[in-house]
């Protein structure tokens, strides 16, 4: 299972680079549009959501 996850994450990272996470900090909904453009499976979209949650938190911390 772990290998599958790692592989999915590696493939994802290549795609996520096309999704600008800085943009998502200001506008999380745009992420959903991006995700529709590149067809992701459920596991991949789950990882992206986690990544974005993390980046949104970081963005909030920096904006204090």
Distance CA(16)–CA(14), nearest Å, equals 6
Q: What is the pLDDT of residue 34?
A: 65
Distance CA(55)–CA(3), nearest Å, equals 25
Angle, helices 42-63 vs 28-37, to 10°: value is: 150
Q: Report in angstroms the alpha-carbon separations of 30 from 4, 20, 36.
A: 28, 10, 10
Q: What is the pLDDT of residue 27?
A: 63
- Block means of pLDDT (10 residues each) for the chain, 64 residues, are 72 64 59 64 71 69 65
Give pTM, 2 decimals.
0.33
Q: What is the pLDDT of residue 50?
A: 75
């Amino acid at each position: 299972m772990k290998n599958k996850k790692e592989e999915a994450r590696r493939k994802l990272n290549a795609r996520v680079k096309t999704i600008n996470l800085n943009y998502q900090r200001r506008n999380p909904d745009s992420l959903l549009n991006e995700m529709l453009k590149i067809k992701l499976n459920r596991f991949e979209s789950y990882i992206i959501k986690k990544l974005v949650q993390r980046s949104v938190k970081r963005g909030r911390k920096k904006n204090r």
